[in-house]
Structure 1
């Protein structure tokens, strides 16, 4: 069979990811944006204020949800998720795959850093306001600062790389008009 040069997809091959892959992808996008926005917003609020504490608790609760979503994504991808042929070949295909792996790796690292940070801070928080959780009882101040800085750096790195990822998808869709964005579009 000849390849469709515009999309790089063989005729008769699925052109969209399965609905679970798509749902997990967009859930990850929303969670990352909300988590980042919460952290940036509470940074503007005075320390110790109830609203700042609520934003932090919501951030941590959603971070736990993100951890579950990433575990589900990795398990789904490894077992049942639809695999599509690469949308591009050569350097462009390699770069897309590298970006994919980098984002997965950074998300996993960010989640681990988040859990270690909660342990180092030894502060209780309300899980979605339902019940209190605390990972440790003795604060590790030096570790708290170091892990907190790493957590911030990784967050910004994820935002920059995810923005590049989104920009490339939009370039493919609107400039190259190769149908790439349709692969991950719901509906």
Structure 2
């Protein structure tokens, strides 16, 4: 186990050094301290790309994040496709400034962690493991959900190295959504 951990740490460090040597540009996240979610309120629009074993498809997507009359509670709406049926959720701040709840208003509440301009959630539903990532920038957000079927899990390793459970990804949903300004909202 210690050997595996040492290898992982060495790999991570060498990856960091390689990216510095190659001068790879990373997306710029604002350097000014931002307060989540207040500094990222708005309407974001773009296309959601869905990749699975059936191929790739694309549909329009919108994400709306806005204030409510309740302190520490925000409207969190997602619109998929041309039908625009909204998913009316709420985002609630907890006692911990880095932990949030996404309330789907149907008895389902997802726990989310916020760090480095990113909201993370991992949950299991109907035999599927989902990992959601939402990265917020000044002018856009990146939305991604990776799904793996629990029944497809395989295990490798042994007690000396470590037992590892693999969850092969079966569906990936990914979008870059651009924050709308007053002039782009009417389009």
Same fold (TM over 0.5): no
Q: TM-score, normalised by structure 2?
A: 0.21
Between structures 1 and 2, the one with greater helix share:
1
Between structures 1 and 2, the one with greater strand share:
2
RCO greater where, 1 or 2, for CA within 8 Å and sep 6 or more?
1
